[in-house]
Amino acid sequence: MNKTLRTPVIAGNWKMNKTASEAEILIKELIPLAENAACETVICVPFTDISTAVTLTKGTKIKVGAQNVHFKASGAFTGEISAKMLTEAGVTYVVIGHSERRQYFNETDLTVNRRTKAALEAGLTVILCVGEMLSEREDGITETVVELQTVAALTGITAEQMKNVIIAYEPVWAIGTGKVATDEQAEEVCAFIRKVLETKYGKETADKTVIQYGGSMNPKNAAGLLAKENIDGGLIGGASLKADDFKALLEAAS
Ligand code: PEP
């Protein structure tokens, strides 16, 4: 089964939650939970928590991610953070193209592509988010939207660089809404994304790429989703903020 070619990745997206002192409490709870997990464990924290997270997770199985990165190396980009700033701070993963960035901060397929290139060049592993809005699903254009986002984001990215790319399929209508995609809906689109990767990079790269599902994943629905052939973990918002919930997700992925 091709699923065995990939190690699942459970990544928490904390969004704009947890001050550094709050982060310290949660990370200390998460460290022993990640120790026995047979999946990769990543926490994507706010910029102000990076230093705390990197210090506390040193020598543990938890990797630290950021939630965005700018595409320029330096310069007059007030409020932005470069890839080198992240790597020097000890960050190894970064979420790019999250629907909340696309929706509220004018993120486009072009800027997603630029950020992806900059992050990969700096040695970061990219968690690249794609997903359709409810109206797009209702119009029957889910695959068109997801293919466009995926191909646009990966323009100029080589098969070698794909070793450091994770795709997170996140239907926008399921994020933070409690409306989870059914196991079959999620699997259908993740399998489609793998086909898109196969067309662009060939079967070997497609088979090895981790494709996560994200959107109201929680301890109750995780096992069904993660058992699917093409779903290799999750990008998790709300349920990543409570140690007990995150523990259940790590167990489901293991
Ligand atoms: C997310 O932030 O990527 C996400 C999937 O959030 P939630 O799990 O809360 O829906």
| Tens-digit pLDDT profile for residues 13-60 | 999 999 999 999 999 999 999 998 999 999 999 999 999 999 999 999
Dihedral (C-alpha) 155, 216, 231, 47: value to the nearest 10 degrees?
50
Would the pLDDT of 72 be above 90? yes
Model pLDDT, residue 67: 98
The Cα 159–Cα 201 span in angstroms is 6
Per-residue confidence band for 165, with pLDDT thresholds at 50, 70 and 90: very high
End-to-end CA distance of the chain: 16
Q: Which long-range contacts (CB under 8 A, 24 or more apart) does 131-135 make?
A: 131/99, 131/169, 131/170, 131/171, 131/172, 131/175, 131/214, 131/215, 132/171, 132/172, 132/173, 133/172, 133/173, 134/172, 134/173
Q: For 179-217, write each residue's pLDDT tens digit.
A: 888 999 999 999 999 999 999 999 999 999 999 999 999
Pocket test for ligand 1, best of 9, 10, 13 (most atoms within 8 A of CB): 13
DSSP 220: T
Q: For 108-121, write each residue's pLDDT tens digit.
A: 999 999 999 999 99
- Amino acid identity at 200: K
Helix or strand holding residue 168 (H, E): strand 165-169
Model pLDDT, residue 156: 98
Q: For 76-104, write each residue's pLDDT tens digit.
A: 999 999 999 999 999 999 999 999 999 99
Strands (E), 17-116: 40-44, 62-66, 93-96
Length of the chain: 254
Could you tell me the distance, in angstroms and rounded to a whole number, from the CA of residue 16 to the centre of ligand 1? 12
Ligand 1: lining residues by beta carbon, under 6 Å:
13, 15, 170, 175-176, 214-217, 235-239
Q: ∠ CA(149), CA(150), CA(151), 5° rounding?
A: 95
Q: Is 0.95 topped by the overall pTM?
A: yes
**What is the token pair recorded at 32?**
């022993």
Could you tell me the distance, in angstroms and rounded to a whole number, from the CA of residue 152 to the centre of ligand 1? 23
Q: How confident is the model over 149-154, as a mean pLDDT?
A: 98
Model pLDDT, residue 179: 84
Model pLDDT, residue 70: 98
Per-residue confidence band for 177, with pLDDT thresholds at 50, 70 and 90: confident
Would the pLDDT of 1 be above 70? no
The 3-state DSSP class for residue 134 equals helix
Identify whether the C-beta of residue 232 lies closer than 8 Å to the C-beta of residue 18. no
The Cα 233–Cα 224 span in angstroms is 11
Q: For 100-111, write each residue's pLDDT tens digit.
A: 999 999 999 999
For the domain spanning 3-253, the CATH number is: 3.20.20.70
Domain boundaries, the chain: 3-253
Identify whether the C-beta of residue 191 lies closer than 8 Å to the C-beta of residue 169. no
Pocket test for ligand 1, best of 45, 167, 175 (most atoms within 8 A of CB): 175
